[in-house]
Amino acid sequence: MNEARSWLESTKKRGMALGLKGTKSVLDRLELTLPRHIIHVAGSNGKGTVSALMATALTLDGVKNVLFTSPHVARIEERVRRNGIPLSSQEFDEALNRIHLAALGDEHHPTIDLTFFEVTYLVSMFSSVGSDVLILETGLGGRLDATRSGPATASLVTAVRREHIEILGSDLPSIAQEKAAISRPHCPLIIRDPENQEVRKAMLSEAMNAGNEALGEIPAPAQVHFVSIPKEASVQQEAVLLAHALFDSIGFSTESLEQARQVLRWPARMHMLTKQETSTHPFLLDAAHNPSGLRRILPELERNISLHAPKTESGPLWTLFFGTSPQHSLAEFLSPLHELCHRIPPKRIVLTQPHGGRYPGVEVELLAEQPWLISPMKFASASQAVESLREYSEQEVGLIVSLGSLYLQGNLLNIFDWATDENLSLCAKH
């Protein structure tokens, strides 16, 4: 491991920190010529999908773009994609070295301590030089998220749910207001219409006084556009509607959005792997990370189970493969999953613990205490679980549906040697 990578690894011990000062200082030291258009995306659910969709549409149109998302699924370079393709290790290291030097400072500039997330965000800023568009997905909230430390020409807020209440606020209007704080003076702000009038009012109030004086912005109203989403819309259809509104607001062509929806490969999001790709059984991977996200994908999840699982007299033959990062309420998170298992009973339930995340995954024994429909199989790691499942025939497990932590899905992709540049690209070569 080189010096810069060792430094990046050392930043993990700083955990998570909200605030803009340190990141802004390093950004200023880098003196970057940033893209003409910077799109900033926040929200509780759907922000990754709409960000990936916009990046794919721009790539199809030949518009040079960089996309920053987090966390990564299989390897860190995929947090920063240029024209849909993860940065090479060499490109990532080049950016990392420059950021490390800037953070270290000199006799006139003190050392600045950065978090892991802040460093990877700065890698995306450095890597965006020479591109036409930079798309930034927030990590947490909006107002004090590191991604707010730089400029933006348009912002988008997806669905807002009650999450991270200890940080963002205990009620939905407060949380929504924190996310709407990514708005910039005089710039478009696209908002998925929350329908709740109190939430709408809170977001509009924030946007009418957009701007952060500490960042050199003079507060002024943003150009707010609310987008209504039909109740029957899928996650991908919702993303198209939001992306269409944002592209319209900044004068971008919207013609490639539908094609982008069809070709987009967003790893670990409703992601089907054949048994040829896994060398064992077919897997369906999705990483809905909160109760509302899990409930939102249930209709599409059920459709995919019905479509891809072997048919039997008692219904689709499938196995639930599950592990999760810590949750505010494990019971609340599992509630939609229990509902799914009662509607379409799985043949087996496999519980395991994801590895590689910022926090240790929920221990298997704790998961096993939950009221599962059938007695679960328990494994300390995904690799042990996969090895055990190899011993079963397709008639004994059917389609294996892996849900929960994004890191669990990354564990599986690495087990299957799937995490190549080509596979992790947003769309196949064209």
Q: For residues 217 and 12, which has the higher predicted lDDT (pLDDT)?
A: 217
> Mean pLDDT over residues 153-174, rounded?
79
pLDDT band at residue 65, thresholds of 50, 70 and 90?
A: very high
Looking at residue 430, its pLDDT comes to: 46
Q: Provide the number of structural domains found in the chain.
A: 2
Q: Which domain-ending residue is among 237, 264, 291?
A: 264
Q: Say if residue 21 is in the same domain as residue 141.
A: yes
Which one, of 261, 256, 219, lies nearest residue 239 by Cα?
A: 261
Looking at the structure, do residues 214 and 193 belong to the same domain, yes or no?
Answer: yes
- Model confidence band, residue 167 (pLDDT cutoffs 50, 70, 90): low
Q: What are phi and psi of 172, to 5 degrees?
A: -65, -45
What does the pLDDT read at residue 359?
78
Cβ(4)–Cβ(140) below 8 Å: no
Q: Does the residue 425 lie in any domain?
A: no
pLDDT, tens digit (0-9, with 9 covering 90-100), for 387-410? 999 999 999 999 999 999 999 999
What value does the mean pLDDT of the chain take?
93
Are 254 and 299 within one domain? no
Q: Which of 215, 238, 264 is the last residue of a domain?
A: 264
Are residues 162 and 296 located together in one domain of the fold? no
Mark whether 316 and 243 lie in a shared domain: no
- The C-alpha atoms of residue 316 and residue 310 are separated, in whole angstroms, by 6
- 174 and 198, same structural domain? yes
- pLDDT (tens digit per residue) in 72-129: 999 999 999 999 999 999 999 999 999 999 999 888 889 999 999 999 999 999 999 9
Domain span including residue 176: 3-264
On the question of pLDDT at 18 being above 90, the answer is: no
Mapped onto helix, strand or coil, the DSSP state of residue 38 is: strand
Q: Give the pairing of strands 399-404 and 283-285.
A: parallel
Over the stretch 357-386, which tens digit does the pLDDT of each residue have? 777 899 999 999 999 999 999 999 999 999
End of a domain among 217, 242, 264? Answer: 264
Let me know whether 285 and 409 are in one domain.
Answer: yes
Tokens coding 159? 């669905």
Q: Are residues 277 and 258 in the same domain?
A: no
DSSP for 322-381 reads EE----S-HHHHHHHHHHHHHHS--SEEEE----SSSSPPPPHHHHHTS--SSPPEE-SS
**Same domain assignment for residues 207 and 335:** no
Q: Which residues contact 160 (CB under 8 A, 6 or more apart)?
A: 43, 44, 172, 175, 176, 179, 192, 194, 199
What CATH code is carried by the domain that includes residue 387?
3.90.190.20
pLDDT of residue 93: 97
Residues 237 and 279 in one domain: no
pTM for the structure as a whole: 0.92
Looking at the fold, whether 62 and 200 belong to one and the same domain comes out as: yes
Query: Who wins on pLDDT, 421 or 15?
Result: 421
pLDDT tens-place string over residues 341-361: 999 999 999 999 999 877 789
Whether residue 256 has pLDDT greater than 50: yes
Verify that 100 and 235 share a domain, yes or no.
yes
- The reported pLDDT for the residue numbered 106 is 86
Alpha-helical segments (H) within 74-156: 89-104, 116-127
Residue 420 lies in a domain: no
Q: What is the CATH number of the domain that holds 163?
A: 3.40.1190.10
More confident residue, 239 or 164: 239
- Residue 306, pLDDT above cutoff 80: yes
